[in-house]
Amino acid sequence: MPVDKTTQAELMSVAHALADAARPVTLAHFRASGLTADNKDCAGFDPVTVADRDSEQAMRALLAELRPDDGILGEEFGHKTGTSGLTWVLDPIDGTRGYISGTPTWGILIAISDAKGPLFGIIDQPYIQERFVGGFGIASVDGPMGKAILATRPARALSDATVMTTFPEVGADIDRRAFQAVATQAQLTRYGMDCYAYALLAAGQVDLVIEAGLNAYDIQAPIAVIQAAGGIVTDWQGEPAHDGGRVIAAANTQIHAEALAILKGQIDA
């Protein structure tokens, strides 16, 4: 069912309230001495901190008060079934590795979604006090330089493009090879930005973000923001990416098609 204008306004207000509630919780521990991280991955390193857990709990508590009939999908505390047909998709700190390293490239991800995918999303960077929002006809950023409209870059050749990903290894070996096949043709490749890379794409600063092994809570808010800014986000087959997996986010359909053809050529070989 379409969401009416009154409900849209309410959902946007709640999304901002969630980001406002999570900001001080994350900042209370950022760059604090003695901050420790538990490892959620026995085969590697997937850190979680008290800030991750407390941030999500703060948002869940607010949703219980403001939108109790909605579902919730959060990274740290899983899925709560709702009855409204809408689900809040929460990543309380996307980029915990950056968070525990003191870099300001992590963020709070908030999306409100229906069965077809995200309707509205927020990428919030508390330390910089920069908030990127997209959906329901809005695409904007509010931060230290004031408020501005978000718009992705116009078309350019891949040879003139900037591509980003979080980890040099990207995913499995085949994923890394596919990413490198794109990156070697780009003008500039940058690593380690987590969700902030998607914000930069929406803001017209970069052309492509390519990642693998994502979860729904990693990508739904970026999808909403990037699409509202004029970009496109799909999986590596050109299909919807709101469930995660292999993701390509592009500033426009032209560079998306050029990079997607290379990715598909690698993984289908």
Q: What is the pLDDT of residues 75-92, one digit of tens each?
A: 999 999 999 999 999 999
Together in a domain, 88 and 211: no
Q: What local confidence, expressed as pLDDT, does residue 185 receive? A: 97
- Stretch 154-175: mean pLDDT: 91
Q: What local confidence, expressed as pLDDT, does residue 151 receive? A: 98
- Stretch 113-132: mean pLDDT: 98
Q: What local confidence, expressed as pLDDT, does residue 172 receive? A: 87
The answer to whether residues 28 and 81 touch, using CB atoms and an 8 Å cutoff, is no
What's 236's domain CATH number? Answer: 3.40.190.80
Q: Predicted confidence band at 44 (pLDDT cuts at 50, 70, 90)?
A: confident
Together in a domain, 108 and 16: yes
Q: What local confidence, expressed as pLDDT, does residue 17 receive? A: 98
Q: Predicted confidence band at 1 (pLDDT cuts at 50, 70, 90)?
A: low
Q: How many other C-beta atoms are found inside a 10 Å radius of the C-beta of residue 84? A: 12
- Stretch 39-51: mean pLDDT: 84
- Cα angle 144, 109, 86 (rounded to 5 degrees) comes to 130
Q: Confirm whether 153 is domain-assigned.
A: no
Q: What is the pLDDT of residues 198-257, one digit of tens each?
A: 999 999 999 999 999 999 999 999 999 999 999 999 999 999 999 999 999 999 999 999
Nearest to 178 by CA among 219, 154, 216, 213: 213
- Stretch 96-120: mean pLDDT: 97
Q: What is the pLDDT of residues 217-233, one digit of tens each?
A: 999 999 999 999 999 99
Together in a domain, 126 and 181: no
Mean pLDDT score of the chain, rounded to an integer?
Answer: 96
- Stretch 154-176: mean pLDDT: 92
Q: What is the CA radius of gyration of the chain?
A: 18
Domain containing residue 40 = 5-143
- Stretch 141-150: mean pLDDT: 97
Q: What is the pTM of this model?
A: 0.96
- Stretch 143-157: mean pLDDT: 97
pLDDT at 97 > cutoff 90: yes
- Stretch 111-139: mean pLDDT: 98
Q: What is the phi/psi pair of residue 19, to 5°?
A: -65, -40
Together in a domain, 79 and 174: no
Nearest to 131 by CA among 67, 191, 214, 202: 202
Together in a domain, 240 and 179: yes
Structure tokens that stand for 203 in this block:
């803001």
Q: Confirm whether 29 is domain-assigned.
A: yes
Q: How many residues does the chain have?
A: 269
Q: Give how many domains the chain has, as a whole number.
A: 2
Q: Predicted confidence band at 42 (pLDDT cuts at 50, 70, 90)?
A: low
pLDDT at 43 > cutoff 80: no
Q: How far apart are the first and last CA of the chain?
A: 40
Together in a domain, 129 and 165: no
Together in a domain, 54 and 98: yes
Among 82, 109, 143, residue at a domain's last position? 143
Q: Return the higher-pLDDT residue of 71 and 268.
A: 71
Among 143, 176, 194, residue at a domain's last position? 143
- Stretch 90-105: mean pLDDT: 96
- Percent of the chain's residues with pLDDT above 70: 99
Residue linked to tokens 């808010």:
221
Together in a domain, 179 and 239: yes
Residue type at 147 in one-letter notation: K
Structure tokens that stand for 97 in this block:
């590795």
What's 43's domain CATH number? Answer: 3.30.540.10
What gap in Å lies between CA 151 and CA 168, rounded to an integer?
Answer: 27
